[in-house]
């Protein structure tokens, strides 16, 4: 049996739901769980509707810094604040498979990508420029009452992407994000932090999306993973999400027997299984 779960971040845009369903059907055709989650995330990185890869958000200074991670039981790879590459998730996979390290950041991540043959690529889109300008305008007008105010994020939250899979006993997870316009250069969210935005072990895999700082504080993915087997996966995810109150957050999770997608906002997602 094989199964895969994808999410396209927290968003009410109908087309994100349509696309994530298509990408899930394509990804489940891959040979291994790792290949499936990486392919799913790569497809979403190439879709400018999502805030990952092409379509990533600009920071206050106009730069685009992206994070991505992949994880399998016993191994991990991530890139933090990587710039000028098309598919950060592919670089994160290569960090895990083709380097002695687990995490590379900034210029070091870019240099590694070039050594691996990834060419210069500008992920900037007009949508990213517009979101940055809108954020700056709101700040100047005093319309953002506090950092990461939930009401602000209901309008401008980024569409982080992620996937978890179980293929004939293999477990894997992948995540990628362009962050949010409401950040300084150098900020790191939950996505590339093992235990926060992503976790995979022998019991299953979990990927989170939402306000990164709060997800890191609660180590959301690890909190869910550590409870696997104590109750149904859906109930565990629901209980952990409830702890966030009105702070926007969502998760996808998978085990050999269960799979789920839960959030306290609208979260485009797809669940596909195959015997």
The 8 Å CB, 24+ separation contacts for 89-96 are: 89/38, 89/41, 89/42, 89/45, 89/52, 89/53, 89/174, 89/175, 89/176, 90/38, 90/42, 90/118, 91/116, 91/118, 92/68, 92/174, 92/176, 92/192, 93/34, 93/38, 93/174, 96/70, 96/72
Question: If you compute the radius of gyration of the chain from its CA atoms, what whole number of angstroms results?
Answer: 17
The H or E element that residue 98 is part of is helix 88-98
Burial of 213 (0-12, 13-18, 19+ CB in 10 A): middle
- Going by C-alpha positions, the residue among 175, 159, 144 that lies closest to residue 253 is 175
Q: Indicate if 160 belongs to the active site.
A: yes
Spatial separation of the C-alpha atoms in residues 114 and 111, rounded to whole Å: 5
Count of residues for the chain?
275
Catalytic one among 32, 54, 135, 160?
160
Spatial separation of the C-alpha atoms in residues 63 and 6, rounded to whole Å: 27
CA 147 from centre of chain: 21
Spatial separation of the C-alpha atoms in residues 121 and 68, rounded to whole Å: 16
Residues designated catalytic: 160
């Amino acid at each position: 049996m094989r199964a895969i779960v994808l999410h396209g971040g927290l968003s009410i845009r109908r087309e994100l739901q349509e696309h994530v369903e298509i990408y899930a059907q394509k990804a489940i055709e891959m040979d291994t769980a790792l290949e499936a989650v990486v392919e799913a995330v790569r497809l979403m990185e190439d879709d400018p509707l999502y805030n990952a890869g092409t379509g990533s958000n600009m920071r206050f200074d106009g730069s685009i810094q992206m994070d991505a991670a992949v994880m399998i039981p016993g191994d991990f790879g991530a890139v933090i604040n990587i710039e000028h590459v098309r598919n950060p998730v592919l670089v994160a996979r290569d960090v895990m498979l083709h380097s002695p390290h687990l995490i590379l950041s900034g210029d070091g991540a870019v240099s590694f990508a070039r050594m691996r043959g990834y060419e210069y690529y500008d992920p900037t889109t007009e949508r990213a420029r517009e979101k940055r300008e809108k954020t700056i305008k709101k700040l100047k007008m005093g319309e953002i009452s506090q950092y990461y105010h939930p009401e602000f994020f209901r309008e401008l939250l980024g569409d982080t992407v992620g996937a978890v899979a179980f293929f004939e006993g293999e477990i894997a997870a992948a995540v990628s994000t362009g962050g949010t316009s409401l950040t300084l250069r150098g900020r790191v969210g939950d996505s590339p932090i093992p235990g926060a935005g992503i976790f995979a072990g022998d019991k299953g895999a979990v990927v989170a999306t939402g306000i990164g700082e709060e997800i890191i504080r609660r180590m959301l993915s690890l909190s869910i993973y550590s409870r696997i087997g104590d109750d149904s996966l859906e109930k565990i995810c629901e209980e952990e999400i409830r702890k966030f109150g009105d702070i926007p957050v969502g998760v996808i999770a998978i085990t050999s027997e269960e799979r789920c997608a839960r959030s306290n906002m609208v979260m485009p997602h797809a669940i596909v299984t195959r015997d």
